[in-house]
Each structure stands twice: as structure tokens, then as C-alpha cells.
Amino acid sequence: MAQRLRQLSPSPGGLAAGLLVLLILGTLAAVATHAGGLSALGPWDWRAVWFTLWQAALSATVSAVLAVPVARALARRRFGGRALLITLLGAPFILPVIVAVMGLVSVFGRNGLVNDLLGAFGLAPLSIYGWQGVILAHVFFNLPLSVRMILHGWQAIPTERFRLAASLGFGPGDIARHLERPMLREVLPGAWLAVFLVCLTSFAVALALGGGPGATTVELAIYQAFRFDFDMGKAATLALVQVGLCVAALALASRVSRPAGFGAGLDRDTPLPAPAGWRRGADAGAILLAAGFLLVPMLAVILQGAPGLAGLPGAVWAAAGRSVVMALISAMAALALALALAQVIAGGRAWAELAGMLPLVASPLVLGTGLYLLLRPLVSPTALALPVTVAINAVMALPFALRILIPAARSLQADYGRLADSLGLRGLARLRLLTLPRLARPLGFAGGLSAALAMGDLGVITLFADSRNPTLPLKLYQLMNSYRMGDAAACAVLLMAISFALFWLFDRGGRIHAAL
């Protein structure tokens, strides 16, 4: 009888999946209920839809095209600091968007390094504001993601294929035609669509560098309808359009890749062929240009803002403390949801994985709009700005945490599941003695990623918060808007340092506990 009651009682994973489905579908239902229909959208709204689509397509194309020579160079060259450089390629992903924007302004802005060089040669200055700034920022964020995805494709080609090519006397052109291009046909569509999906839901980049009639994304149009016009019908309709675009992109992503057909290898870590001559110089140039493009803006922010850290006003430190607390709570909530779902998924329940991926169909602003519509009749949404921001940050980090945890959870179930069941190890005892020690590494990495993303978020808080309780990213945006660039640079350094510190602490903690 007790065994039957245990089987009928809901599991933590089932409760997590139910809560997630209720939150996502409930907020989307609220948005759909308040939507005024497509007739509520005017010409400028449709222009925002068109700009969102073409800037996402162009950003994804530029990122993918530039990533190919960089990934190929990293795949076939060995040099000191290579592993560190590949690790640094992941830095822009956890770098707060508003900090990256400030770094790009320092390099490409009116008084930036690039325009100083152009002025020295008597050339006209460049403007970073408008569509060109939005695309530049998107390439900055997504070039590393594209490089890592394509690099994995190169590394997945069995080294036996390269040895066979060498025995057949293949030159670099033959290798490209028979090995590299089939791999790129498999990997590039997925990389392109991943970047396209990220750029579809861009908000902070468009808020800081876009705006105006010619550079407004759907996300920014939702924000403007919400905060400035207070037109809930239009905001809800735009939110549904955004969801439709995301669902279409996800559906397309599942159909475009083609298998390369290389077969399995022996998984030997053998360096790939490294042709000499002009190709060596081309590879070095690709690596140096990519490293400079990604690292110089971050270095510019540090050099500009580090001297002003001690003189930051008290409001910035208060915002920093507020953001740290919110980031920690968001990370712990994301980890709890991800761990519960990962264990259910490892048990063979595919519906739980589908529930965990639901946040991908809605952006933070769409969820924030839905929660605002649900909460407005009950309580002042402004009073719940911080809790709502924490909850949405946790939910939006969940798909990334799940992608990290699911493979480890499946291995744990395959290796130790039957033994734990035969010993009657379940509940908190199983969690404490088996699950947490064996999953410490991926849990630490997922927690660090979740905390860093929550720390740098400038999305939902812009809908709910007032100027009295800003988070650190919102405070940085306020300082930039008031042209207090010295304080803004110091605030950016503080935000970047805290984001990387949170990631390091979680990741390091997971590796320490895994070794115990």
C-alpha cells in the first residue's frame, strides 16, 4: 500500500514541470486574452517586425560567416594560450549586455578608438547608433557562440578521415571539399538558427543602440507600448507576434541540419592537418582579429572604469547588493527546477524535457507583460518588481541549465540507478548521498551560468521597477542616459566583476565538491 501511495504521489520533477507549464502558458494566455488583434498594429509596428527579422537574419549570417575561418584556425593550429583563448570565447555570453554595449561605445563610438584612427587619416567618423550598432553588438555576442559550435563540428570529424585523406594525397582544397564542407552543411544551419533565435528576442542592445523609427525591434516596441503609451492591447499583440516568430524559428531549427555521414572514429585527440604557407598567416590573422574584436571592448571598459570604482555613489553599491541577492536566488531556483526536471528526464519521461524547453518560446518581456496583466487587478505590479524579476530570470536560465544537467543525469541513472533502487535509496537520502555528489560539477557550472545571466539582466526590471529600487544593470543604464560616463564606466566594471565572480564561485564550488 505504501509503495502504491509513493507511486501516486507527485514527484518533485512533476511538480516543477507543472509549475513551469502553468507559468509559461498562463502568462501567454493572459497576453492572448488582452491582445487587440493584428488590426491594432500600425505601420510602425509592422516596420519593427520587419526590422527584427532582417537584423536577426543579417546578424546570424555575419556571425556564421566570420566564425568559419576562426573555428578552422583554432581547430588546426596549436599555440601557447590556445585553451585560454577558447575559454575566453565564452566570456561574452555571460558578459552583461549593457557592459558590452558600453565597451563597444568606447571602441566604436563618437570618441572611441576607431573614430580616433579614422580622424587621424582624415576619414569621416562612424556612428554606432542605429541598425549598424545593433548588428555590431549582436555579432560581438554571437560570434563566440558560432565559433564554439563550428569548432565542435571540426573536432567531431574522426581523425582517421584526415589520415585517409593524407594517404590519398589530398591537398587543402580536396580536404575542404570532401571533409570540411559536408561538416559545415551539417553544423552551419544550426549555428545560424541559434544566433537568429537569440537576435529575435534582443532587447537591451536595441534599447541602448537602436531605437527610433528605423531600428526598433519587436521587444523594444513592446516596451514602448507598455511603458510610454500604456497600450496593453498593443503590447499584448506584439508579444504574441514575438512568440509566433520564436516558435517558427524553433520549428525551422529542427528540420534544417543534414548529417555529414562521417561515421564513428576512435576518439583520439590528434591534431588536424595544419597547412603551411599563406594559410598559416591567414589562420593567425583570423585568430588575432577575432581576439581583438572580442577582448578590446572589455579591456576598454576596465581601463576606463577601474579608476572610478572608489568614488561610486552609494546608490550604485545599494543596486549592486540588490542585484547580487536577486542573482543568487534566481540561480538557486533555476538549479532546483533543473535538477528536479533532469532526474525525471533521465528516467525516460520526454514530456518533462518539453516542459523545460518551454521558456524558449517566450522572451522575458513577453512573460513580464503577461505577469503584469495577471497581477494588475490584485496588487501593484511595481511592488512585486524584484520578486517577478527573480522568477523570470530563473525560468529563462532553465533551458541552459537543463542542457548542462541532462547528459550527466542520464549517465548517473544508467550507472547507479538500479543499485540505488535495490538498496532502497530514495528521497533526501538519495539526493544527499548520490545525486548531489555525482552531479556537483554540472550543477556548479549551471549555477554559475544562471547567476551571471541573472546578474546582468536588463529586461523585465525595465517594465516593473521604478527609479527608487534599480538593479545594477538598470542603474548603469540610468547613468549612461544622464551622460555621467565616468560613473557609468566604473559601474560597468563593477557589474562585470560581480558577474564573472559569481560564475567562478559556483563553478569552482561544484568542482571542489565533486572532488570530495
Query: Domains of the chain by range and CATH?
Result: 12-41+312-516 (1.10.3720.10), 42-262+281-302 (1.10.3720.10)
* 375 Cβ contact list (under 8 Å, min separation 6): 381, 384, 388
pLDDT of residue 373 exceeding 50, the answer is yes
User: Which three cell numbers mark 410?
Assistant: 542520464
At 163-210, the pLDDT tens digits run 676 676 676 666 767 677 777 877 788 788 878 888 888 887 887 787
pLDDT of residue 331: 92
pLDDT computed for residue 332 by the predictor: 93
- Statement: residue 283 has pLDDT above 90: no
Share of the chain above pLDDT 70, in %: 84
Residue that has been written with the C-alpha cell 488582452 in this structure: 34
pLDDT at 258 over 60: no
* 3-state SS class at 181: helix
pLDDT at 5: 37
**Taking 70 as the threshold, does the pLDDT of residue 2 lie above it?**
no
Q: In degrees to the nearest 10, what's the CA dihedral of 22, 28, 32, 34?
A: 90
Q: How confident is the model at residue 305 (pLDDT cuts 50, 70, 90)?
A: confident
- Looking at residue 317, what is its pLDDT? 92
Handedness of CA 353, 354, 355, 360 (dihedral sign): positive
- Whether the CB-CB separation of 155 and 75 falls below 8 Å is answered with yes
Dihedral angle sign, alpha carbons of residues 28, 32, 35, 39: positive
Query: Rounded to 5 degrees, what are φ and ψ at 487?
Result: -65, -35
When pLDDT is averaged across residues 501-511 and rounded to a whole number, the result is: 82
pLDDT tens by residue, 53-78: 999 999 999 998 999 899 888 887 87
Amino acid of residue 370 = G
Supply the pLDDT for residue 101. 85
Average of pLDDT values for 463-469? 70
93 conformational bin, left if phi > 0, alpha if psi -120 to 50, beta if neither: alpha
Considering only 31-40, 339-348, 497-506, which range has the smallest mean pLDDT?
31-40
Residue with cell 558577474: 499
Of the candidate ranges 76-85, 96-105, 269-278, 332-341, the one whose mean pLDDT is the lowest: 269-278
| pLDDT surpasses 50 at 264 | no
* Per-residue pLDDT band at 260 (split at 50, 70, 90): very low
Model pLDDT, residue 321: 92
**What is the sign, positive or negative, of the torsion defined by CA atoms of 185, 187, 193, 198?**
negative
pLDDT at 7: 45
pLDDT band, residue 506 (cuts 50/70/90): confident
Mean pLDDT score of the chain: 79
DSSP 227-251: HTS--HHHHHHHHHHHHHHHHHHHH
Higher pLDDT, 347 or 289: 289
Average pLDDT score over residue span 264-270: 46
pTM, rounded to two decimals? 0.78
Are 134 and 218 in contact, with CB atoms under 8 Å apart?
no
Residue 4: pLDDT over 70: no
Q: What's the pLDDT tens digit per position in 410-435? A: 777 776 767 776 777 776 777 677 77
Most confident of 36-45, 157-166, 372-381: 372-381
Taking residues 107-136, what's their average pLDDT?
83
| Residues 6+ away with beta carbon under 8 Å from 29 | 370
pLDDT given for residue 266 in this prediction: 43
Top pLDDT among 112 and 425 is at 112
Q: What pLDDT was estimated at residue 111?
A: 79
Evaluate if residue 265 carries a pLDDT over 50.
no
Q: Which amino acid is located at 214 in the chain?
A: G
Per-residue pLDDT, 3: 47
- Rounded CA gap, 422 and 295, in Å? 53
Beta carbons of 20 and 354 less than 8 angstroms apart: no
